[in-house]
């Protein structure tokens, strides 16, 4: 297990949040394209196009702000364990948002449980499970009701 492997996996965790905050749902789909994605209550989807479509359907973007989501997904306390060409990670997330109608505040808190594999091109997600533990005012974040 090398420090470089742990850093590469950890960067994937951070890249996910960066892409969502940018409103780049095609990028999220590409990042998770070799993985299953979902949670205990929602079921799972797989494939880049299906994941990108899920985010485009469920997550609001603000065209007057560069089509961004006006959120910050903060990934905290990542614990990464590498075993050869496979890795696991568990981490905490906090999503904050600030819009004209929602003041700056946390809107969701939960945990990510991730599996990764490595091939000749590097590390990639093979599974992301999202466990949302606390939900605040997501009225300006989601296009669907919880």
Query: pTM of the entire structure?
Result: 0.94
Q: What is the mean pLDDT of residues 1-7?
A: 89
What does the pLDDT average to over 137-142?
96
pLDDT of amino acid 144: 86
**Span 41-52, pLDDT tens digits:** 778 999 999 999
* Distance separating alpha carbons of residues 67 and 72, to the nearest angstrom: 14
Note the pLDDT tens digit of each residue in 81-126: 999 999 999 999 999 999 999 999 999 999 999 999 999 999 999 9
CA distance 2 to 8: 10
Mean pLDDT value across the chain: 96
Closest CA to 83 of 27, 22, 141, 2: 2
What structural domains and CATH numbers belong to the chain? 3-135 (3.10.450.50)
pLDDT band at 1; cut points 50, 70, 90:
low
d(CA 115, CA 117): 7
């Amino acid at each position: 297990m090398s420090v470089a492997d742990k850093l590469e996996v950890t960067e994937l965790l951070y890249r996910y949040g960066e892409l969502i905050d940018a409103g780049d749902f095609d990028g999220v789909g590409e990042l998770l394209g070799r993985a299953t994605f979902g949670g205990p209550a929602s079921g799972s989807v797989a494939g880049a196009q299906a994941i990108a479509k899920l985010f485009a359907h469920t997550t609001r973007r603000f065209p007057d702000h560069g089509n961004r989501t006006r959120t910050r997904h903060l990934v905290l306390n990542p614990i990464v364990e590498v075993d050869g060409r496979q890795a696991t990670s568990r981490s905490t997330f906090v999503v904050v948002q600030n819009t004209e109608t929602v003041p700056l505040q946390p809107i969701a808190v939960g945990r990510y449980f991730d599996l990764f594999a490595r091939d000749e091109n590097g590390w990639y997600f093979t599974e992301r499970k999202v466990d949302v533990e606390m939900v605040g005012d997501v009225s300006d974040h989601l296009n669907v009701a919880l």
